[in-house]
Each structure stands twice: as C-alpha cells, then as structure tokens.
Amino acid sequence: MVNKARRVDVDYSMKQKEWFPEDFFHVLSTHSEQRRLMNEMPLLKFVGMLRVDTQHFKDVCLPYPMKALNAVYQRLPTMANQRDEDLLSVVRVCNGNRAETGIKNLC
C-alpha cells in the first residue's frame, strides 16, 4: 500500500533552482531503485485461487522513473562540465595568487 506519493518533475525542478550533487544522488538512487524493483516484480502469481497479473501495473508505473532518470542523464554531463570549469577557474586564481606572493606552486 502506498502511504505517501509525490510526483517530481525533474526538468521543471532543474530549471527553477541549481541542483547540487546530493540532489542528483537522491533522484538517481530513488528512481533507479524504483526501476529495479518494478523490473524484478513477478508478472504473474497465484494467491490461493486468485491469479494476480501485474503486467498492466508495471506498464503504467515504469515510465515515470524512466522519464525522471532520462531527464537527469541528459542534464548531468552539462552540469558536471560546468562544475569542472568552475573548479578549474578557482584553481587558476589560486595558482595566480601563489605566483604573486612568491609561494611555489605544488604542481
């Protein structure tokens, strides 16, 4: 039984605010786990005299975590590249400050 459900629009959320590594980790781990559990779900099972077919449930539910994962997969390389560029600019500034103060670079 589902006690609480929340639908996350990853594209909209990424446009509204900057995502941090923790945000990516949370979305990737949550939706990857949902996808894994749905793929491992038995599609047909007999419970007593009843036959339970979960194929339709899986077909209806699986597109949502896949859509969220694909949205993250599309944006993650660009965001990682931007973070790398930001870090390199900080390193360049630090190296420039060391040269001006006479401190030897460690590189």
The closest alpha carbon to 10, from 37, 38, 34, 31, belongs to 31
Q: How many domains does the chain have?
A: 1
Q: Does the residue 63 lie in any domain?
A: yes
- Domain membership of residue 62 as a residue range: 21-97
Report yes or no on whether pTM surpasses 0.85.
no
pLDDT at 53: 92
Q: Does the residue 2 lie in any domain?
A: no
Q: Does the residue 103 lie in any domain?
A: no
Q: Does the residue 25 lie in any domain?
A: yes
pLDDT at 1: 43
> Tens-of-pLDDT digits for all 107 residues of the chain?
455 666 777 778 888 888 888 888 888 999 999 899 989 989 899 999 999 998 998 898 888 889 989 988 888 888 889 889 988 888 888 877 665 555 555 55
Q: Does the residue 84 lie in any domain?
A: yes
Q: Does the residue 49 lie in any domain?
A: yes
Q: Does the residue 9 lie in any domain?
A: no
